[in-house]
Structure 1
């Protein structure tokens, strides 16, 4: 089972990072490893798995041996003497194979519980990756705002120069300054959002809130999408868990059949007999030893028939639940794939628009060199550039987040 866990983690990380530079991949992979080792939810499921597995030793037992001691207050007389006290021992034994059936049932429950560990690890890796990409997008947007604020500083210098020569008014300068204030406000808000997301990220790794998280400086839109194999969805641990639960019900029914069989018992009674003082014969005072065999048959017990019916209904319920979850996962996969395609389309559009906005900006600068410039147009173009840059970053983030979801579903 250890091999399975390592394999799943490696495949997921490699697929989640297949479009990132190797150094950047190593960074996120390291963070994911920290989360897998420290996350308390993973530890909780691992402890639950160990606890259920330990129950195998609990059921690998037979019923307690019964011992009894009795003292005759009024000693009954027999031909060989008076009975003084009685000692008995009795051991009941379940039907052949019952203990093995119990062990198999508990083992099947442990197998189903193990799938919870696999599911939790997959979800954790997806959550860490998504939070990482959110941090990247936030940082990238702050960098874009910083660049645009510097650009407005340049425009403000041009505006002041134009005011001095009478080609612009002080209102143009004020508009530029107000625009700078708005962008600085947005940057400050993003900075606070970064701290909040950083806290969320650190909690996924189960470490202190204020530990600084370093993310990559840039993420590129991949040139092509990795292949989606929908057949792998049928092997998703969320679905495999239902298969394991179904198998555990089968084991439960086998155990139910065993427990509905007779139970045999073996025992021995020893009765101490005192000698008769008034007589002399060969068996005088001879103790009594009586071996016993008993059997317990559930003739009038409807418990086992009811349990069989319950097992059949539970299997039908599990089958319906699995189909319902499969439908949900297929919907999530389709949605993630469509949103990833939409992110690529959006990125291409924003890239095209950004190039055109750059051309418009160059035209405005050349206009200033000829002695005319409209700072309203400057602000409009700058605002469009900022919008296109923000949308571009959001498209890249969406692409990687949706790829993470796809990896969670099919890897």
Structure 2
């Protein structure tokens, strides 16, 4: 009995939630995938699906992490306007302290203006490079939204499991009270001892203790859930009353894994490196400069001729040639190596996601198997309970058997809740990877 009680404490408080090491579907398609995500998980629980859909929608709108990634994307997008510019225009003014004399007069001061411009297509190359970086940053939003939906759903199912366990404990406490009444009656007629009554009462105390601890754990998980939605931690979360495992498995489209945002981000990064190399080639080209010099000339007072005091206006054209271009060659090699690195990272992540998907599918199948087994066991335990009741009617009852059957029944009920919860938790992982 002691070992069984320890087991119950473990399954009640450790739960069966698995860590989701996942890292949110473009903004134009996230709404559609969002509905698929909700209803595919709870196709057999329409009212619950509608409630979870509302909670997910609230989380997507209010979660600060999503807002953070959206702001980062807007910043990255705004950088396109930053790079869409030519170098600063240079203006200069000079005053001749010692005025040089020319045939037409003395030079007083000089004004100049210079403008360098990149080679043809250089500005466009910069815009495309920065835009490709923004596209890669955008995938962070898509990934974060998927992760958030999975986290909210998993937290929701943990709350459901906690509530169901509390309800099961209440049922068993009531059952023990019934047995206690039977025991008291048996004591009066000399067919049971007061020890049997005390053991039943102690068992009730244990279940009351487990329930109180579950209530505290529920408050902790409720806080976690509400903070995912960025709302007050004290807001009560109303979870569905009962969940069951559907008869048919949901469709798993593993081929969609290659289109997962975590992998698409590597494609966007690869494209950004390509744009970086195009920009590198443009920057290794010459730059053209245009300028204009104006020199003020003072008239010669002792002479009278046609160009006396005529100012000087001199247009300028310059070319900046990167003769020492070792920097650009090195950048080209770095870009090539960077592309290889991104390809390796993508393959590594694909392997991890495939493993996660296979693990989630197998775990969900295992949850279905456990659920069927616990359902059968629970039916047999109830049959044994009915036999005990008939024994009492016949005038004989062993309250040690009563406690054993009650403990087994509670164990099977808790395991049944765990298997249902695990089924839906694994479904959230599968949907994260494939929807």
The TM-score bracket by the shorter chain reads: over 0.9
Matched residue SS, 1:75 = coil
Match of 1:390 in 2: 414
Question: Alignment partner for residue 8 of structure 1, among 33, 48, 56?
Answer: 33
The 5 A counterparts of 1:2-401 are: 2-20=27-45, 22-401=46-425
TM-score by length of 1: 0.99
Distance in 1 (alpha carbons) for counterparts of 2:433 and 2:44: 18
Distance between the aligned counterparts of 1:13 and 1:389, measured in 2? 27
**SS at structure 2 position matched to 1:234:** helix
Output the CA distance in 2 between the equivalents of 1:102 and 1:154: 79
Q: Distance in 1 between matches of 2:40 and 2:169?
A: 32
Unaligned runs of 5+ in 2: 1-25
Q: Kindly state the Cα deviation for residue 150 of structure 1 after the two structures are TM-superposed.
A: 0.3
Quote the Cα distance in structure 2 between the aligned partners of 1:45 and 1:8. Answer: 19
Deviation at 1:172, TM superposition (A): 0.3
For 2:428 and 2:399, how far apart are their aligned partners in 1?
A: 43
Q: How far is the alpha carbon of 1:325 from its aligned partner?
A: 0.5
Question: In structure 2, how many angstroms separate the alpha carbons of the residues matched to 1:2 and 1:58?
Answer: 24
Q: Which runs of 5+ in 1 are unaligned?
A: none
The two structures have a TM-score, normalised by structure 2, of 0.93
Once residues 101 and 41 of structure 2 are traced to their aligned partners in structure 1, the CA distance between those partners, rounded to angstroms, is: 88
Q: Secondary structure in 1 aligned to 2:111?
A: strand
Change (3 A) 1:106 1:8: farther
Residue 337 of structure 1: how far off its partner (Å): 0.5
CA deviation after TM superposition for structure 1 residue 299, in Å: 0.5
Q: Over residues 275-322 of structure 1, what are the superposed CA-to-partner deviations in whole Å (9 max), with x where a residue is unaligned? A: 111122111111111111000000013111111111111111111110
Deviation at 1:9, TM superposition (A): 2.0
Query: For 1:4 and 1:304, how far apart are their aligned partners in 2?
Result: 40
8 Å CA contact 2:300–2:308 kept in 1: the answer is yes
RMSD: 0.8
Count of matched residue pairs: 410
Counterparts of 1:48 and 1:345, CA distance in 2: 45
How far does the alpha carbon of each residue in 1:235-285 deviate from its partner, in whole angstroms, 9 at most, with x for none? 000000000000000001101101110000011101011111112211111
Q: Structure 1: which 4+ aligned runs deviate by more than 3 Å?
A: none
Q: CA deviation at 1:18?
A: 2.4
